[in-house]
Each structure stands twice: as structure tokens, then as C-alpha cells.
Amino acid sequence: AAEVRHCALSLVGEPVLYPRFAELLEDLHSRRISTFVVTNGQFPEQLQALPRVTQMYVSVDAPSQEELIRVGRPLFADAWSRLLASLDALRTHGRRGRRTVCRLTLCRGTMTREAARGYATLIARASPDFIEAKGVTPVPQFGREGVSIQDVVPTHSEVRLFAEMLKDELAAIKGESPDASGPKQRY
């Protein structure tokens, strides 16, 4: 691969906060480089104002306001309303023909039917093209707090089981049978 064709913009701070971020996206696209942007869902105005993005992700770290405060330790008192507004912005980008993704970060012990129902409600609000369910990434903070990787990082099998629960809850929201035959469901 002698030529750059794709650029992922995430994991080093919040990309939408960079003052010339929109300009960077436009420059990359002018050179026929696809863009993948991952945001934490805390800056909905900036997200809404972005120009075309090839694929836009909003990280959904919790299925409820209470869980977001407990697990996410947000910087903003209105973190939940910011997340909801970001999911609305994601839906708007999707309506403009852009690929959109809700990225769920899952912790062992929290992948319950109730959590699946909460995530399904958020996903239905955003109406993304894709849903990415992944286990939480271990960070040094876990060790400092006396939490082991085994305590929080789910196995692949656990994530798959949760994805099945999520599929059922999404079908329930849409008023469909979870095992409906016929054309593939959107989720």
C-alpha cells in the first residue's frame, strides 16, 4: 500500500474539537482518501456541523444516564443530553447518505437484558447503518483501582450473547418478531 486511501481519526483526544478539523476532512476527501471519525458523543454541535465523513461513529458507553455517570465519569454535568443530541446528529448525517455507526463499549457484568433494552432505545434513536459491540479496552486506571482485566473485559462469547439480546430488543422496538423470517433486518 504505497498510497494512503483511508484515514481513521480517533483515540487521541476528541477529534471534533480540533479547530481545523472540517478543513482536514475536506482536504482528505479532495485527495480521494476516505475518512472514519470516532467521537465520544459529548460535542453534538461540532458533530452536527461536520462536512462529509465517509463513516462516522458515536461511542455509546452506557445504556442509561445513571450508568454513564457511574462508568463513563463524564466531564460535563449534562453528558447524557449531549449524548442524546449527538445520536440525533448521527441520525442526521445518516439521512444525508453518510455511513453511520453506534459503537457500544461493553463491560463484563453489565450486559443484562435491561442494558440491551437501554442500548436498543439509543440505537433506534440514532438509526445507524451499523452497530459495533466491543469489549472495553483495559486501561492502567483499572489496575490502580484494584480491578482486574478478568473483572471487566468480556469474552467474545459474552459479547455475542449480548448482541443476540440486543437484536431481540431492537426487534421489539420495531414491533417485529426477533426471529422473523424474510429479508434481513437492518440491525
Q: How confident is the model at residue 186 (pLDDT cuts 50, 70, 90)?
A: very low
Whole-number Cα distances in Å, 71 to 14, 139, 169: 18, 13, 22
Query: How does the average pLDDT of the chain come out, rounded?
Result: 88
CB 104 within 8 A of CB 135: no
> How many percent of the chain have pLDDT more than 70?
88
Degrees, nearest 5: CA angle 111-55-68 = 30
Q: pLDDT: is 179 or 111 the higher one?
A: 111
Q: What is the pLDDT of residue 71?
A: 80
Q: Which helix (H) or strand (E) holds 101?
A: strand 99-106
Whole-number Cα distances in Å, 43 to 55, 94, 104, 119, 150: 17, 17, 18, 20, 32
Q: Which three cell numbers stand for residue 148?
A: 482486574
Per residue in 155-171, pLDDT (tens digit) is: 999 999 999 999 999 99
Q: How confident is the model at residue 183 (pLDDT cuts 50, 70, 90)?
A: very low
Q: At residue 172, does pLDDT exceed 80?
A: yes
CB 105 within 8 A of CB 61: yes
CB 95 within 8 A of CB 128: no
Q: At residue 184, does pLDDT exceed 50?
A: no
What predicted TM-score, i.e. pTM, was given to this entire model? 0.87
Query: How many residues would you count in the chain?
Result: 187
Per residue in 49-67, pLDDT (tens digit) is: 999 999 999 999 999 999 9
CB 72 within 8 A of CB 103: no
Contacts of 164 (CB under 8 A, 6+ apart): none
First vs last C-alpha separation in the chain: 33
